[in-house]
A and B are shown apart, each in its own frame.
Chain A
Amino acid sequence: MNSPQDEQPVIALVHCPVPLSNQQHVLLGHGSGGKMSAELIRGMFLPELGNDILNALEDQATFELAHLGLETTGQGAAAAFPPGARLAFTTDAYVVKPLFFPGGDIGKLAVHGTVNDLAVGGARPLYLSAAFILEEGLPLELLRRIVGSMREACEAAGVQLVAGDTKVVDRGKGDQVFITTSGIGLVPPGRNLSIARAQPGDRILVSGTIGDHGMTIMSLREGLEFETSLQSDTAPLHDLAEQMLTACPNIRCMRDPTRGGVASALNELAEAARVGIKIDEAQLPVRDEVRAACELLGLDPLYVANEGKLIAVVPAADAERLLAVVRSHPLGRDARLLGEVVDDHPGMVVMRSLVGGQRVVSMLAGEQLPRIC
């Protein structure tokens, strides 16, 4: 999208998708920076994702801070960048097999993931960039579906994709498509979320069922396939996060428990704040299918990835009120308070089992593997 090398006028073409010659597949030429690259950009990316900033096709996206979407303060709309406001910036790479799965696809993941990383930091997501590594031979129709899906996700999350790049690698040197997105958001003045702020007595909230995304992907994994009505939970959390922070500005911190699952997120928290965390197995929201699939393959839902859930640490006095707020949001209906921050065992997460014993929930050593024993 940036630096298409040639000087053709583009604006006129933006609203009228150009047929991508007669190609059905991604060719090495699409990453050459030459005519074919430009064709891909104008024929596919701009019609789907275009906006004033992207359409300019500059080498960089430029935007004024006054447009950053903060509600106006006493100084009126002229307030450019209110004192105390901060920028949040994040980046993430997305690799998933298969590209399309029940509940989503790599394009949605790439938008939601970066939006969520911003949102759980208390930032309002504004702009994204996206870099695509395409494997030679990828059907263009697949790419079109992915880009269309990213457009929908961007619209739903209220963000604009303002910069991008595309490279093509030899057939066999990639795995269809990899996407890297980066995002910028604005943290309003006074918001200061940090995992180091968790204090003994705080409660821990999870916004819904855990393990849905990871087990959906696992159900499609070659050799392990099983039939299920499970769907990935991939979703943008910006609105939920914003409502939570508006209702309860005292939230200490939030996390989205993606790779490594809830267990890893809680361990990072315990480690960073040097506090103990105690959770209750009976309070873990786990769908029956996720539980069953985990039993079948010998996996633990605590370590399975989520793509549309967040964990929040909140002062005890606000916990029940926050839970009600979260449950009233469509993405938070199955929310639970699953535990608390404690003085004991700093750096450790301890879970009370269903039958009353306790165990430590440690960080995962590597990938969870299906086991026979």
Chain B
Amino acid sequence: MCLGVPGKVLTTYHEHDLLMGKVDFGGVVKQVCLAHTPEVQPGQYVVVHVGFSLQVIDEAEAQAVFQFLENMQELDELDRPDDVADAGGNGSVPSP
């Protein structure tokens, strides 16, 4: 349930006394109600669901999984091509 998409808050403003913001989702900008994350500052990332921010993303915590992976020293030796092939790049094409 509950499609939530991370986006960067560009600006904030008020509409009908509600805290709103323009949020950038990888080049797509949409107006989002930020009333549930009143502390959010432009430049921070929020997770957005049906046009509302659910929560501000914690940058430090976001790195946790990658630190966790780095710490898996014993697994490094397994980091070689095996039955699980590498998928390569992600096919992204920047816009002109």
Most-contacted residue by chain B among A281, A296, A371 (CB, 10 A): A296
Q: Kindly state the separation between the CA atoms of A284 and B92 in the bound complex, as whole angstroms.
A: 8
The proximity string for B residues 50-77 relative to A, scoring 1 for CB distances below 8 Å and 0 otherwise, is 1000000000000000000000000000
Q: Once bound together, how far apart are the Cα atoms of A286 and B84, in whole Å?
A: 25
Which residues of A sit under 8 angstroms from B28, Cβ to Cβ? 219, 226-228, 289, 292-293, 296
Closest B-chain residue to A230, C-beta based? Answer: B95
Q: Tell me the residues in window 206-255 of chain A with beta carbons closer than 8 Å to chain B beta carbons.
A: 209, 219, 226-230
Bound CA span A298–B14, Å: 27
Known contacts: A282-B88, A354-B87, A356-B84. The answer to whether A227 contacts B29 by CB under 8 A is yes
Q: Produce 1/0 per residue, A284-324, CB < 8 A to B.
A: 11111101110110100000000000000000000000000
Give the residues in chain A near B84, CB-CB below 8 Å: 356
A280 to B88, CA, bound (A): 10
- The answer to whether A228 and B29 touch across the interface, beta carbons within 8 angstroms, is yes
Query: Contact: A352 with B30, CB < 8 Å?
Result: no
Tell me if A365 is interfacial: C-beta within 8 Å of chain B. Answer: no
B-side contacts of A281, CB under 8 Å:
87, 91
A283 interface residue per 8 A CB criterion = yes
**Counting CB contacts under 8 A, is A152 at the interface?**
no
Chain A interface, number of residues (Cβ within 8 angstroms)? 33
Per-position binary interface string of chain B over residues 15-31, scored 1 when its CB falls under 8 Å from any chain A CB and 0 otherwise? 00000000001111110
A residues less than 8 Å from B89 (CB atoms): 282
Q: Does A78 contact B (CB under 8 A)?
A: no
Q: How far is the CA of A280 from the CA of B5 in the complex (A)?
A: 24
Tell me, in angstroms, the Cα distance from A15 to B78 when the chains sit together: 76
Give the chain B neighbours of A296 by CB distance below 8 A: 5, 25, 28, 30, 48
From B26, B30, B93, contact of A285 by CB (8 A): B93
Do the beta carbons of A286 and B91 come within 8 Å of each other?
yes
Specify which chain B residues have a CB less than 8 angstroms from the CB of A356 in the assembled complex: 84-85, 87
For B2, give the chain A residue with the smallest CB separation: A373
Q: Is A372 an interface residue (CB 8 A)?
A: yes
State whether the Cβ of A271 lies closer than 8 Å to any Cβ in chain B: no
Q: How far is the CA of A49 from the CA of B68 in the complex (A)?
A: 66
Closest Cβ neighbor of B91 among chain A residues:
A284
Chain A window 347-359, contacts with chain B (Cβ cutoff 8 Å), 1 for yes, 0 for no: 0000011111000
Judge whether A355 and B29 touch: CB under 8 Å. no
The reply on A334 being an interface residue by CB < 8 A is yes
Q: Give the nearest-CB partner of A229 in chain B.
A: B95
The CA of A306 and the CA of B2, in the complex, are separated in Å by 28
B27 touches A289 (CB 8 A): yes
B87 to chain A: closest CB distance in Å? 5
Q: What is the CB-to-nearest-CB distance from A212 to chain B, in angstroms, rounded to a whole number?
A: 9
- B85 pairs with A288, CB closer than 8 A: no
Residues of A within 8 A of B50 (CB): 372
Residues of A within 8 A of B27 (CB): 228-229, 288-289, 292
Interface residues of B in 26-51 (CB under 8 A from A): 26-30, 48-50
- Please pick, from B2, B29, B85, B93, the residue contacting A372 in the complex, using a CB distance under 8 A: B2
Q: List 7 A-B pairs, minimum CB-CB distance, nearest first.
A: A292-B26, A227-B29, A289-B27, A373-B1, A292-B28, A226-B30, A292-B25
A-B contact pairs, 18 of them (CB 8 A): A219-B28, A226-B30, A230-B95, A280-B87, A281-B87, A281-B91, A282-B87, A286-B92, A288-B26, A288-B27, A292-B25, A292-B27, A296-B25, A353-B87, A355-B87, A372-B1, A372-B3, A373-B1
* Chain B interfacial positions (CB closer than 8 Å to A): 1-3, 5, 25-30, 48-50, 84-85, 87-95
